[in-house]
């Protein structure tokens, strides 16, 4: 996993097939789409699935790197993620009383011979993967628009 601070460039192209979108990063190409029930053709994961896949892969890679560095007996790492909107019950003073917050649940299963202390440490480390930090941090976005 790259830790340099260079700008990442990803190209997104929406073609002629309703919501099917081609995502290109370097020489890698992925497809995103919406399910048929939402007007898509279900040719790839939807954008929230792509987000969860990014977080899950970053988590697994970060944990594997850490376990390897510590020479811990980790055979495999499984990460299961769920995303949903939850009513913002902790928002008594919000302007919008129907506000919802995004919730991501992350379950991690590690296959290997590890102690409870090692598992606890891996759970701590899982919150430190770069994508996790990005999602939990302050994000500034800039956008421009043009026409061909």
Whole-prediction pTM: 0.84
Sign of CA dihedral 145, 45, 11, 136: positive
Q: 76-86: per-residue pLDDT in tens?
A: 999 999 999 87
Residue that has been written with the tokens 């994508």 in this structure: 131
Looking at residue 10, what is its pLDDT? 76
Cβ atoms 55, 41 nearer than 8 A: no
Mean predicted confidence (pLDDT) in 43-51:
95
Cβ atoms 100, 87 nearer than 8 A: yes
């Amino acid at each position: 996993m790259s830790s340099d601070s260079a700008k990442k460039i990803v190209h997104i192209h929406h073609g002629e097939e309703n919501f099917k979108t081609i995502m290109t990063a370097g020489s890698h190409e992925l497809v995103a789409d919406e399910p048929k029930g939402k007007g898509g053709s279900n040719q790839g994961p939807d954008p929230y699935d792509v987000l969860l896949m990014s977080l899950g892969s970053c988590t697994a890679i970060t944990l594997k790197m850490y376990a390897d560095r510590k020479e811990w007996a980790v055979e495999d790492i499984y990460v299961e993620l769920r995303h949903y909107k939850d009513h913002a019950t902790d928002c008594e003073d919000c302007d919008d009383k129907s506000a919802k917050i995004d919730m991501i649940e992350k379950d991690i299963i590690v296959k290997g011979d590890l102690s409870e202390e090692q598992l606890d440490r891996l759970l701590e480390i899982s919150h430190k993967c770069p994508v996790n930090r990005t999602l939990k941090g302050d994000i500034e976005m800039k956008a421009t628009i043009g026409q061909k």
